[in-house]
Amino acid sequence: MILQFNFKPFTAMRDHTPDFKLHELTDDNKALIRQTVQQLLEKLAEDGKLSCDSLLEFWVEVPGVKRPRGTFRGGFLMPDSFIYLTDYFRSDAQCQLALEPLQTGGNGETGLEKAWNDLLDELYYQVEIFTSPLVSSKGVTLELWAGNRQRPEGEWIYAVDRKVELG
């Protein structure tokens, strides 16, 4: 049996990537986010609630941009984004009451510094994507949660949260 395919040539592929320009967060905003995230994660670890499915979730409120918060099937709030904490920190029984990095450091960084820097770089980048339509991040409200859900989209079993306004 011989299979024959008739392919039609196509003209060009279209790029559906949104046209946006990232605006780097200011040093003050990065410091505020860093301090807030560190407080949340240290509380999570101190309470012994850091597990393999622990998340850092956030929601970005952009002034003047109206958009409803989404929900997953079942009515659970859908955050703008989330980060699995165990991509950066260990969650086994040996790490009770303290954050321990998943990997060792490099380039003069300790393992803990590297874990914090990597996690925060990812978070800063995601926040910059959500604030890209703006010239400045002034007035943007960032809500952050750290904890454990039944599933990534389920109800919180344990959560600590904080809301900050970027300047």
For 59-89, write each residue's pLDDT tens digit.
Answer: 888 877 776 666 656 656 667 788 888 888 8
Report whether pLDDT(33) > 90. yes
| Most trustworthy range by pLDDT among 22-36, 120-134, 153-167 | 22-36
Q: How far apart are CA 118 and CA 66, in angstroms?
A: 31
Side chain identity at 99, as an amino acid letter?
A: L
81 and 57 Cβ atoms separated by less than 8 Å: yes
pLDDT at residue 10, as a whole number: 60
The pTM score is 0.78
Q: 144 and 40 in contact (C-beta within 8 Å)?
A: yes
Which has the closest alpha carbon to 50: 160, 162, 155, 154?
A: 160
What are 145-162's pLDDT values in tens digits?
999 887 756 788 899 999
Tens-place pLDDT, residues 35-65: 999 999 989 888 888 887 888 999 888 877 7
Residue 151 exposed, middle or buried by CB count within 10 Å (0-12, 13-18, 19+): exposed
Rounded CA gap, 164 and 33, in Å?
8
Domain boundaries, the chain: 27-165
